[in-house]
């Protein structure tokens, strides 16, 4: 048995031994051990009511501490011993105010109240610990989801570009090798960008998740459109700077929408990107005229975008328009509590 379990038993044994000793000194050890015999004269100090009150306080307080802090198996053994010794003391000691049965009942009632209070506090502490553990688990889950979204949004964007260009190179290689070779630098650039994105993500994780947000959203969006390889028309109206974290989310949403268009809307001849700032939110939309998009791609792009928008307290929609595919989001400038 460990030290943590031994000290409550030792302390309880000490309290019980002291109480039995006082009972013997007050009423006679023969009576205290239920062997019969003449009584004794009560020592003035031990028989004083304040001493009895102090002893009762010790019993009640120790029962309270046991049921609150000590492991249940040990606690209830100690509490049972304390209640028996307390009832023994009240029964064999002479009282001029109450009958013996009354004092025994009052002692047991006080011990039961103390034990109940300790159990209540124990349950409260367990509830708080459970809530703290649940909150920690939610934080870890949110962190994993954020990492998954970043991995999908950043790396998948570049890898998709490489894949599209490699497929195009395979198609034209049989007829025009020179034209196929012209696509190789784009594949190399895509791989370089993907590697850079991975390194940036690793740096972010090593810096305790302090992800670098965009500093110039308009410029970042223009660069993103230029590298997309799609026939994109842009309309960006950002009259003032937005929070870096919000700008980063806008950039990731547009990036993922363009990635989806490049992967699934193979016949698209026009993609329109619209980003504008209002007094309360950033509004963005990405729409294409592709009609060959599959009903379900099996990826996590739309799920990640929806989660990102909802975390910011915004609204999100993605779906077919009859003439293509539309992704739109409204991101509030200030996150609502």
- Answer with the one of 134, 167, 190 that is the final residue of a domain: 134
pLDDT for 112-127, tens place per residue? 899 999 999 999 988 8
In the predicted structure, residue 183 carries a pLDDT above the cut 80: no
The total domain count for the chain is 2
Residue 95 placed within a domain: yes
Q: What is the pLDDT of residue 137?
A: 77
* 254: CATH: 3.30.565.10
The span from the CA of 212 to the CA of 193, in Å, is 16
- Same domain (yes/no): 116, 14: yes
Distances (CA, A) of 267 to 167, 226, 262, 292: 15, 19, 9, 7
Residue 188 placed within a domain: no
- Cα angle 35, 40, 42 (rounded to 5 degrees) comes to 125
Q: What is the pLDDT of residue 211?
A: 44
The span from the CA of 141 to the CA of 218, in Å, is 32
Residue 162 placed within a domain: no
- Same domain (yes/no): 130, 224: no
- Answer with the one of 100, 134, 168 that is the final residue of a domain: 134
Distances (CA, A) of 304 to 56, 102, 148, 299: 63, 70, 8, 10
Residue 165 placed within a domain: no
- Same domain (yes/no): 220, 329: yes
Q: Could you tell me the two tokens for 312?
A: 């910011």
Residue 192 placed within a domain: no
Residue 120 placed within a domain: yes
- Same domain (yes/no): 224, 320: yes
For the chain, the average pLDDT equals: 78
What's the farthest any 2 CA atoms get from each other in the chain?
122
In the predicted structure, residue 273 carries a pLDDT above the cut 90: yes
Residue 53 placed within a domain: yes
**Average pLDDT in the 266-289 region?**
91
Nearest CA among 273, 266, 262, 203 for reference residue 238: 273
CB burial string 156-181: b at 16+ within 10 A, e below: bbbbbbbebbbebbeeeeeeeeeebe
**Average pLDDT in the 57-63 region?**
89
- Same domain (yes/no): 130, 219: no
In the predicted structure, residue 229 carries a pLDDT above the cut 90: no
Give residue 256's domain range: 215-337
- Answer with the one of 114, 134, 154 that is the final residue of a domain: 134
| More confidently predicted of 336 and 25 | 25
- Same domain (yes/no): 107, 225: no
Residue 56 placed within a domain: yes
In the predicted structure, residue 254 carries a pLDDT above the cut 60: yes
- Same domain (yes/no): 109, 225: no
């Amino acid at each position: 048995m460990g030290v943590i379990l031994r000290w409550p038993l030792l302390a309880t044994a000490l309290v019980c031994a002291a109480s039995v000793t006082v009972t013997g000194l007050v009423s006679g050890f023969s009576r205290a051990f239920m062997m019969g015999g003449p009584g004794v004269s009560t020592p003035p100090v031990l028989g004083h009511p304040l001493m009895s009150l102090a002893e009762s306080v010790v019993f009640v307080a120790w029962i309270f501490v046991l049921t609150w802090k000590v492991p249940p198996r040990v606690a209830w053994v100690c509490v049972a011993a304390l209640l028996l010794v307390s009832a023994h003391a009240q029964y064999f000691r002479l009282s001029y105010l109450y009958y013996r049965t009354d004092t025994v009942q009052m002692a047991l009632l006080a011990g039961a109240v103390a034990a109940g209070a300790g159990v209540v506090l124990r349950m409260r502490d367990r509830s708080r610990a459970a809530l703290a553990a649940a909150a920690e688990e939610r934080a870890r889950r949110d962190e994993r989801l954020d990492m998954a979204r970043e991995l999908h949004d950043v790396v998948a964007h570049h890898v998709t570009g490489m894949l599209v260009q490699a497929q195009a190179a395979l198609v034209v290689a049989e007829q025009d090798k020179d034209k196929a070779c012209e696509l190789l630098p784009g594949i190399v650039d895509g791989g370089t960008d993907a590697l850079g994105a991975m390194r940036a993500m690793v740096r972010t994780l090593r810096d305790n998740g302090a992800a670098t947000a965009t500093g110039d959203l308009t410029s970042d969006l223009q660069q993103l459109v230029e590298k997309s390889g799609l026939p994109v028309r842009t309309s960006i109206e950002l009259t003032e700077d937005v929070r870096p974290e919000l700008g980063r989310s806008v950039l990731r949403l547009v990036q993922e929408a363009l990635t989806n268009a490049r992967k699934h809307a193979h016949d698209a001849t026009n993609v329109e990107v619209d980003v504008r700032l209002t007094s309360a939110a950033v509004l963005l939309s990405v729409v294409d005229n592709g009609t060959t998009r599959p009903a379900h791609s099996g990826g996590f792009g739309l799920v990640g975008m929806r989660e990102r928008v909802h975390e910011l307290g915004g609204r999100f929609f993605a779906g077919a328009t009859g003439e293509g595919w539309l992704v739109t989001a409204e991101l509030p400038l200030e996150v609502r509590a």
